[in-house]
Amino acid sequence: MNGHGARVWPWVRRAYRWCDENIEYKLMNLTYVLCVSIVFVEAVRRYLFRSQAPWSGQAAIYLFIWLSWIGCAYALKSRAHLRFDEIRRRLPYTAQFLLQQLDYVIWISLCAIISWFAIQQMLVQARLGSVVQGTDHFPLWVAFLGIPFGWGLILWRAIHCVVEDIQRYRAGKPIVDTFALEQVA
């Protein structure tokens, strides 16, 4: 490997590690702050000045969509997603593992289906030149991008969970985690 490649790979590893540890959390906070700020400012403007930006309602809705799907990926990463552990804990070890893997097959299948249709809708909006209601130039496809982006993060986290579960299974460690809210806060 030449000198340039040797300098780049450590930076790529650090960037990947940072994204792996922080991306959902930072993006959730950003979209939440933006959404709340827009709603708050526009509520104050509407109350005090009887005026409101025509795009504010739509912007808050689209930011909430981004927040929801990014939050779903965060829940999958922290294994805080909906599951029924009481029954699984009573099953044999291999059955626990196989059911956990079935969960991730379903997640990955949903990622493919939802992303496909969301991208098709984005392409239609881009072809039509649609803009977010209340704006003159902000493309609607950018607002719709939150769906495949969020599901891309979900796919990334599902694959991480599959790899981690296979490693745990081979090592004989418990398959089903216990989840506590303190772990994500």
Q: What mean pLDDT do residues 20-41 have?
A: 95
CA–CA dist 3, 151 (Å, integer) = 37
- Mean residue pLDDT of the chain comes to 89
Q: Quote the pLDDT of residue 70.
A: 96
Asked if 153 and 69 count as a contact pair (C-beta separation under 8 A), the reply is yes
Query: Looking at the predicted structure, is the pLDDT value of residue 36 above 70?
Result: yes
Q: Quote the pLDDT of residue 185.
A: 52
Q: Quote the pLDDT of residue 106.
A: 94
Query: Looking at the predicted structure, is the pLDDT value of residue 87 above 60?
Result: yes
Q: Is 173 helix (H, G, I), strand (E, B) or coil?
A: coil
User: Phi and psi for 137 in degrees, rounded to 5?
Assistant: -135, -10
Asked if 144 and 118 count as a contact pair (C-beta separation under 8 A), the reply is yes
Query: Looking at the predicted structure, is the pLDDT value of residue 117 above 70?
Result: yes
Query: Looking at the predicted structure, is the pLDDT value of residue 158 above 60?
Result: yes
Q: Quote the pLDDT of residue 94.
A: 93
Asked if 77 and 157 count as a contact pair (C-beta separation under 8 A), the reply is yes
Percent of the chain with pLDDT over 90: 73
Query: Looking at the predicted structure, is the pLDDT value of residue 150 above 80?
Result: yes
pLDDT band at residue 85 using 50, 70 and 90 as cut-offs? confident
Beta bridge partners of 131: 139
| Choice between 7 and 20, residue whose per-residue pLDDT is larger | 20
CA–CA dist 25, 15 (Å, integer) = 15
pLDDT band at residue 47 using 50, 70 and 90 as cut-offs? very high
Query: Looking at the predicted structure, is the pLDDT value of residue 99 above 70?
Result: yes
Domain of residue 151, residue span: 3-184
Q: What is the pLDDT of residues 53-72, one digit of tens each?
A: 999 999 999 999 999 999 99
pLDDT band at residue 89 using 50, 70 and 90 as cut-offs? confident
- State CA 136 to chain mean position distance: 29
Q: What mean pLDDT do residues 158-164 have?
A: 94
Q: How many domains does the chain divide into?
A: 1
Please name the amino acid found at residue 115: S
